[in-house]
Amino acid sequence: MKLKQEILEKIKDVIGKANVFEEEPMSEHTSMEVGGPAAYLFQPETAEDTAFLLKILKQENYPFYIKGNGSNLIVHDEGYDGAIIEMMKMNRIEVSGTFVTAECGAMLKDISAKAVEASLSGFEFASGIPGSLGGAITMNAGAYDGEMKDIVTEVTLMDKEGNVLTKKNEEMDFSYRHSLCSDGDYIVLKAEFQLAEGDSSEIQAKVDDLSARRKEKQPLEYPSCGSTFKRPEGYFAGKLITDAGLKGYCHGGAAVSDKHAGFIINKDHATAAEILELISYVQEEVKEQFGVELKCEVKII
């Protein structure tokens, strides 16, 4: 579905022609490396650009989806018949004392590097998560006994009408892989963290240790979305999948990782359909064998 030409030209005038793409393959914008073309992909550079896009697309009743780095996203092979608003060009990071403020498109590894440079501790757990800040806040990303909710002081959001508001940590409704933004009513613009003063070399050593542990235990050599499933209460998804006899199981080019069964990987030029079919098969087998429902952590459009 195409936008009216005059609307498209207006968008180009406001956010810049270089930030407007037509029939853009989403396989180039997701870590799983699958997905057909989006009718449009827009890359706003400011909150004002983002508000403009939201308002004009709503006025036109045109479908849109907000994405960050695409490290937790699978797009169908048919693509997306609408506009993808990719927030990655809003990526500024600032440090003031023990506080770090970063925009939604900043990669977690880059925020971690800034924290190390400033001798600030507390962000190490997130250093190896391959995503952007917006997605990390939205899903309260966590690893190695740390979560975003542990360090966030406040978050600047935008509602779907383009209004900007600020929420304190306790107003963000953080829980396991969930926040106030999880239902799609708000877009993360930026967040502030409070970290602790520390020794730069010790902080870097912890980052390096966590990175080595991640490399040893996770199939980083293949495209994936990280952990495919949420942790079921009282269980571990990877162990359930292994116990179901599915570790290493392949379906077309998609596979259950033989290094970590909680990861579905793009092993050999998989299609989105093959990956989604494998996810469903794993869910069915675990449900049948153990009576446990595995819920997807990955977003699918």
227 is annotated as an active-site residue: yes
Catalytic residue among 24, 86, 124, 297: 297
Catalytic residue among 112, 154, 177, 192: 177
177 is annotated as an active-site residue: yes
**3-state per-residue secondary structure call for the chain:** CCCCHHHHHHHHHHHCHHHEEEEEEHHHCCCCCCCCEEEEEECCCCHHHHHHHHHHHHHCCCCEEEECCCCCEECCCCCEEEEEEECCCCCCEEEECCEEEEECCCEHHHHHHHHHHCCEECCHHHCCCCCEHHHHHHCCCEECCEEHHHCEEEEEEEECCCCEEEEEHHHCCCECCECCCCCCCEEEEEEEEECEECCHHHHHHHHHHHHHHHHHHCCCCCCECCCCECCCCCCCHHHHHHHCCCCCCEECCEEECCCCCCCEEECCCCCHHHHHHHHHHHHHHHHHHHCCCCCECCEEC
Closest CA to 151 of 163, 142, 138: 142
Catalytic residue among 127, 224, 227, 257: 227
284 is annotated as an active-site residue: no
Q: Which residues contact 96 (CB under 8 A, 6 or more apart)?
A: none
Separation of alpha carbons 132 and 111, rounded Å: 9
**Residue 188 corresponds to which tokens in the numbers above?**
């993360």
Active site residues: 177, 227, 297
